[in-house]
């Protein structure tokens, strides 16, 4: 059952998931707040209070992305096979240009991210990328491949990203906007026949 956190200027519903984890964390990846708490954790109100500023900032970012999503369109014509071909072509070009090395590329629908890079040097690409403009697909692939040199999202990593994409902050915001647009389309997938 969803609960609510209410503070001046902030009214967010949240759910709690008790797991076998050592430390509590807040997840706001899909627009809804999830508190992942250790099994015997008792003070969720204090946790929310401690992270109130972060929640407020994230809430504003999400509301802005939802508003902007109304001004964007998805590519509903690109197939999964066309996405795979495009991803392999872009990855090959990036490897040649930047000498990033990867093993394999996997494709699957992911619930909370556009792509990932594993310690085995494999990329996993979210098949939902097929709905995005090609420039954003290229950005996601480059972002994940950059992890071959720097695992963390630290200053060195973002400097590497900025060498190819000077507008990387805009690209990150665009990815959030498209995330919510894709989620909206998937919710209405019976009407559109989107799979």
Tens-digit pLDDT profile for residues 47-66 = 988 888 888 888 888 888 88
In a domain, 157, yes or no: yes
Average pLDDT score, the chain: 88
Handedness of CA 91, 92, 93, 95 (dihedral sign): positive
Say what the pLDDT of residue 69 is.
82
In a domain, 50, yes or no: yes
Say what the pLDDT of residue 195 is.
45
Over residues 97-118, the pLDDT tens digits come to: 999 999 999 999 998 899 999 9
In a domain, 156, yes or no: yes
Q: In the chain, how many domains are there?
A: 2
Query: What average pLDDT does this structure show over 21-41?
Result: 84
pLDDT band at 189 (very low <50, low <70, confident <90, very high): low
Residue span of the structural domain in which 59 resides: 3-69
In a domain, 74, yes or no: no
In the listed set 21, 49, 69, which residue is the last one of a domain according to the structure?
A: 69
- Give per-residue burial for 146-165: e unless 16+ CB within 10 Å, then b: bbbeeeeeeeebeebbeeeb
């Amino acid at each position: 059952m969803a609960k609510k956190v209410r503070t001046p200027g902030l009214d967010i519903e949240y759910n709690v998931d008790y797991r076998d984890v050592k430390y509590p964390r807040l997840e706001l990846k899909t627009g809804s707040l999830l508190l992942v708490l250790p099994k015997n954790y008792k003070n969720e109100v204090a946790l929310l209070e401690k992270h109130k500023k972060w929640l407020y900032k994230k809430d504003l970012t999400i509301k802005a992305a939802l508003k902007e999503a109304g001004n964007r369109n998805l590519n509903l014509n690109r197939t999964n096979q066309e996405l795979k071909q495009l991803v392999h072509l872009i990855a090959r070009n990036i490897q040649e240009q930047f000498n990033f090395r990867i093993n394999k590329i996997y494709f699957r629908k992911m619930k909370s991210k556009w792509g990932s890079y594993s310690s085995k040097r494999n990329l996993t690409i979210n098949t939902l990328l097929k709905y995005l403009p090609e420039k954003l697909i290229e950005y996601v692939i480059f972002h994940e491949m950059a992890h071959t040199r720097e695992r963390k999202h630290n200053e060195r990593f973002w400097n590497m990203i900025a060498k190819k994409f000077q507008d990387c902050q805009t690209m990150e915001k665009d990815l959030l906007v498209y995330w919510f647009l894709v989620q909206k389309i998937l919710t209405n997938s019976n009407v559109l026949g989107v799979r």
